[in-house]
Amino acid sequence: MMEEEKKRVLVIDDEQNMQHMLRAILSRFDYLVETADDGQQGLDRLRAGNLDFVLCDIRMPVMDGMEFLRRAAALEHGATIIMMSAYGTVDSAIEAMKQGAYDYVSKPFKAEEILLVLKKAEEREFLQRENAALRRQLADIGGPAGFGRMVGKSKKMQEVFQLATKVAQHATTVLVTGESGTGKELVARGIHDLSPRAENPFVAINCGGIPENLLESELFGYVKGAFTGAEKNKKGLFEEADGGTIFLDEIGELPVAMQVKLLRVLQEQEIRPVGAARNRKIDVRVIAATARDLVKEVKKGGFREDLYYRLNVVNIHIPPLRERTEDIAVLSTHFAEKLAGRMDVEILGIAPAAMQLLMGHSWPGNVRELENVIERAVILAEKKIILPENLPPEFGTKRQARRLDDFFAGFSIKKAQKIMEKSLIRRALDATGGNKSKAAELLEISYPSLLGKIKEYGLG
């Protein structure tokens, strides 16, 4: 490991033997170790910055550990402080935590103990960085609030985001329910990305998309010779997700025989590949999702009751888009900006008349349908603004073809030009909600010229 990648640890202890012992232990595990003889020296080093962890004794001359903790709290040092003492009590440990210590270790300790505490502290530091990065990503989305790749400001979605954020920190099994297209996999990915497993695999599988006779080998793998064509050992998806998260989408489609085997995996945290003689231990978090009503399926006998309760430790229900219409404008704008960037086209916004049509739609396909509709509109938009006619025909935007003769009477080009200008200006003003600057851009004329024509045609 390169030196700049190593973690820096400051050991504050008045006993030289303790300094030497910790330096020897930690150096073997790629930590860069510095030492200080008392709290004052430690405080001076802390002010210099560039430290990841501090191991500090409590009883020392000049400045003891508790005074060091109190003064360190006033500094912006960014280090995680762990206290050590041979005279430790529960009260002193609690007091150290109150003063800002991350953990407390009683002397004498084994090498494994101090390494374990530092490992836990590193995981905490990693989670804090990940959470900060996620908050920055959410801020970059431009929406008022979000979770992972999801955007929404409605009260119902805020409740979903809060629950998902809480459950992310634990290995609890989660059942995500909701109609097709509401974003169940996005919730699962968001939970994984916020969890301590974020650096490990996220494996998604659609339980209804794999033939029943292949499902067991896909989930649990197989050994060489297990069946015709099994020419070598193959890992299943559970083993691929070891240490991470597996997302079982459409869990309601799982055959009853496989439900029994999945229940055993959840209970024992073990899998048995097809043809294997022994089970294999795994460490996988399971998040399942379904658009079905599993309670009804249990009553009908199509889904095992014991598996349902094993999966439904925490239920996150995502409401359909028609029940959170306040999110439609936020999502539409977000998708328009994202898709315009991907297609390298300029979209200034969505016309009020078009947004009104979007808000009034029933959205049977939910967020997935909305994204597809906006993608179509971005492709068809010719004037940098999404207009009603850029939406699909089912939105009531189908336009009837009309001959020029229907607009004009006689043969005067001057009169026809004025009629067309008036019609186009009115249309641009409608599209921009009366915003004259944007209307001038759409019409490709100057702002003063537009003002003059508005006055001329009585469109003020």
State the Cα–Cα distance between residues 352 and 371, nearest whole angstrom: 18
The mean per-residue pLDDT over the stretch 430-448 comes to 77
State the Cα–Cα distance between residues 252 and 308, nearest whole angstrom: 10
Handedness of CA 384, 385, 389, 390 (dihedral sign): positive
CB atoms within 10 A of CB 146: 24
State the Cα–Cα distance between residues 134 and 141, nearest whole angstrom: 11
Instruction: Say what the pTM is.
Output: 0.58
Residue 86: name the closest of 113, 112, 107 by CA: 107
State the Cα–Cα distance between residues 95 and 236, nearest whole angstrom: 49
State the Cα–Cα distance between residues 160 and 112, nearest whole angstrom: 40
The 10s digit of each residue's pLDDT in 118-170 is 887 887 676 566 555 544 554 444 444 568 788 888 999 999 999 999 999 99
What is the CA angle 435-439-445, rounded to 5?
A: 140
Q: Which residue has the higher pLDDT, 29 or 439?
A: 29
State the Cα–Cα distance between residues 65 and 40, nearest whole angstrom: 10
The 10s digit of each residue's pLDDT in 389-437 is 889 988 875 544 444 454 555 667 777 777 788 888 887 777 777 778 7
The 10s digit of each residue's pLDDT in 162-211 is 999 999 999 899 999 999 999 999 999 999 999 999 999 999 999 988 88
Q: Which residues of 91-108 are buried (b: 16+ CB within 10 A; e: fewer)?
A: ebbebbeebebbbbbeee
Per-residue pLDDT, 401: 44
Q: Measured in whole angstroms, how far is the alpha carbon of residue 95 from the centre of its chain?
A: 36
| 377 contacts 339 by C-beta, under 8 angstroms | no
The 10s digit of each residue's pLDDT in 337-361 is 999 988 888 887 888 888 889 998 9
Residue 6: name the closest of 53, 67, 59 by CA: 53
| 341 contacts 308 by C-beta, under 8 angstroms | no
All domains of the chain in start order, with CATH: 3-125 (3.40.50.2300), 153-319 (3.40.50.300), 322-395 (1.10.8.60), 404-456 (1.10.10)
